[in-house]
Amino acid sequence: MKALVYHGPGQKAWEEIPDPTIQAPTDVVVQVDTTTICGSDLHILKGDVPAVKPGRVLGHEAVGTITQIGDAVTTLAVGDRVIVSCIKSCGKCSFCKTGIYSHCLGDEGASGMGWIFGHLIDGTQAEYVRVPYAENSVYKVPAGVPDDHAIMLSDILPTGFEIGVLYGQVKPGDVVAVVGTGPVGLAAIMTAGLQGAARIIAIDLDANRREQAHKFGATHDVDPRAADWKQQVLALTDGLGVDVAIEAVGVPATFGTCVDIVRPGGNIANVGVHGAPVELPIQNLWIHNINISMGLVNTNTLSMLLNLVAEKKLPVDLMATHYFTLDQMMEAYDTFARAAETKALKVILTRS
Ligand code: NAD
Ligand code: ZN
């Protein structure tokens, strides 16, 4: 089969490699019908994720068709159309039992690490992918949900909702600011309304992304380069700050943006993947009763979000901006890497 193979920082190739096979009785093999590219794939290609070794097939998002099943798999069948979660889940360990799939203790990849696809085992930017612990790690796609909607459930929708909205404890009437409105920030914007957010403020350097954010549910937007940006945000609250500030970029500056605008008693929910330490002004935060949360997505809300997508309650149709075939992988990476110019949100790659 063909797959996108990582060959060290800055190097990748769409090349021929052996087809994946069943290795454990709980595995399935999925023919990848649709995949996409995540900001994390770009981090890997920059060399920011040293756990990814040369030779690894990248990608952790897919919708596809089961082509082989292991002997222990009874609830799935060849031909089933499924979403592959970006997080493995053995379903048996103490973390899986409490919904913390991100730290699944199953041996695949590494015990205690849920994100394995395109990281510790071969991923989904390929014609086929082996999925461990399949009964707990894939989700059947209801008829009527197209691939380019279902693919948003592999990672970005659960990430924005779980680590942004739920960890941030958004509640009815809240003013929520989302700093960074890439696909993950937009997913948080899209799902903040589920918890009753009254105002949702999109904060991004990119004017196009601020404008897009309104289509996903933002009620206001602020350019963080404006001299009075903080006053603009505070003016959208009772003057005391936002109830919840969601960080969806992953750099120290944007964590600082959240610190600057959160109200006493408020929540900062960090979603961004950071590659460098962040200075924590704990001497100011403690006395303001600020709650800070962070985490790796569990995808334990995937089924619930899928129900909402199936009922067209979330505007996932706006997320896919560019379409390619799998063998246009290199072109798709180029388009996604130049998102500011190309206005790409999610690029979709489908089997031709
Ligand atoms: P992205 O790069 O597409 O979007 C980031 C956005 O931040 C861009 O629109 C950019 O213009 C904006 N931005 C950059 N600097 C800014 C600044 N100083 N102020 C305001 N906006 C700024 O990324 P994405 O795919 O949406 O992912 C967002 C983050 O979430 C990444 O760090 C990604 O690795 C992380 N992530 C986390 C998890 C998790 O489990 N916690 C899962 C998936 C992705
Ligand atoms: Zn587990």
What is the CATH classification number for the domain harbouring 22?
3.90.180.10
Rounded to a whole number of angstroms, the distance between the first and last alpha carbons of the chain is 14
Question: Could you tell me if 172 and 285 lie in one domain?
Answer: yes
**Domain identity same for 198 and 72:** no
- Dihedral class, residue 186 (left if φ above 0, else alpha if ψ from -120 to 50, else beta): alpha
Q: Which domain holds residue 338?
A: 2-155+299-350
Give me the mean pLDDT over the 42-55 stretch: 94
Q: How many domains does the chain have?
A: 2
Q: For residue 144, how far is its CA from the centre of ligand 1 (angstroms)?
A: 30
> How far from chain centre, in Å, is Cα 17?
27
Q: Is the CB of 152 under 6 A from ligand 1?
A: no
Atom of ligand 1 lying closest to residue 250 CA: 32
Domain boundary among 276, 294, 312: 294
The domain spanning residue 254 has which CATH number?
3.40.50.720
Q: Are residues 127 and 78 in the same domain?
A: yes
Same domain? 148 vs 210: no
Task: Tell me: pLDDT of 305 over 90.
Answer: yes
Q: How far is the CA of 251 from the centre of ligand 1 (A)?
A: 9
Please check whether residues 117 and 164 belong to one and the same domain: no
pTM of the model: 0.97
* Nearest ligand by distance to the CA of 104: 2
Nearest CA to ligand 1 atom 21: 204
Confidence band of 48 (pLDDT split at 50, 70, 90)? confident
**Percent of all residues in the chain with a pLDDT value above 90, rounded to a whole number:** 97
List, in sequence order, every residue forming a beta bridge with 121; answer none if it has no partner. Answer: 117
Give phi and psi for 251, each to the nearest 5: -130, 155
Q: Are residues 251 and 333 in the same domain?
A: no
The whole-number pLDDT of residue 4 equals 98
Q: Which structure tokens are listed for 292?
A: 């800070």
**Integer Cα distance of 94 and 96 in angstroms:** 6
**Ligand 1 atom closest to the CA of 271, numbered from 1:** 41
183 lines ligand 1 (CB under 6 A): yes
Q: What is the structure's pLDDT at 352? A: 87
Same domain assignment for residues 140 and 193:
no
Cβ neighbours of residue 255 under 8 Å, at least 6 residues apart? 247, 268, 270, 272, 274, 278
The reported pLDDT for the residue numbered 30 is: 98
Instruction: Yes or no: say if 155 and 86 are a contact pair by the CB < 8 Å rule.
Output: yes
Ligand 1 atom, smallest distance to 184 CA: 26
Q: Is 245 in the pocket of ligand 1 (CB under 6 A)?
A: no
**pLDDT tens digit string along 213-255?**
999 999 999 999 999 999 999 999 999 999 999 999 999 999 9
